[in-house]
């Protein structure tokens, strides 16, 4: 089964974090990334070196789009979380919706993803 890497993992990989690098090196399954994570990495402008690193990641990993179905899923997740006053950041809701609809676990270091109600089927992994 594939996995979807959250932005936190990509940031750690770009920083050369030893735990993230070891985790990524040990992966045997296909790796996907939400297009939103690439937006988060590129937001605000980046230097040439960082841009080339992010572009390499986009070539190496399957990029999952944030289409209407993903946005609808994210809105449903946020609506449910809002009912109990537990909203997560909007872009993270879209990333969660992406992983749910792709049917793959989300690898992240952000604990707030664990607040997504279990009936949405979001599996969260860490390293």
Q: What is the pLDDT of residue 101?
A: 98
| Confidence at residue 44, expressed as pLDDT on a 0 to 100 scale | 65
- Say which CATH number the domain at 75 has: 3.40.50.1010
Residue 121 pLDDT exceeds 90: yes
Task: Note the pLDDT of residue 50.
Answer: 84
pLDDT in tens, 19-63: 999 999 999 999 999 999 999 999 866 778 888 999 999 999 999
Q: How far, CA to CA in Å, does 22 sit from each of 7, 11, 18, 58, 77?
A: 17, 14, 6, 20, 31
Q: Give the chain's domain count.
A: 1
- Residue 32 lies in domain: 3-125
């Amino acid at each position: 089964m594939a996995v979807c890497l959250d932005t936190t993992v990509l940031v750690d990989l770009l920083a050369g974090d030893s735990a993230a690098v070891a985790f990524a090196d040990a992966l045997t399954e296909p790796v996907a990334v939400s297009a939103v994570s690439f937006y988060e990495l590129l937001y605000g402008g980046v230097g040439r070196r960082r841009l080339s690193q992010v572009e390499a990641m986009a070539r190496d990993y399957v990029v999952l789009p944030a289409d209407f179905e993903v946005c609808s899923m994210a809105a449903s997740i946020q609506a449910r979380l809002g009912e109990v006053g537990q909203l997560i950041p909007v872009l993270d809701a879209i990333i969660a919706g992406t992983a749910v609809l792709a049917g793959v676990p989300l690898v992240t270091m952000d604990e707030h993803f664990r607040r997504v109600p279990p009936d949405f089927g979001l599996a969260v992994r860490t390293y």
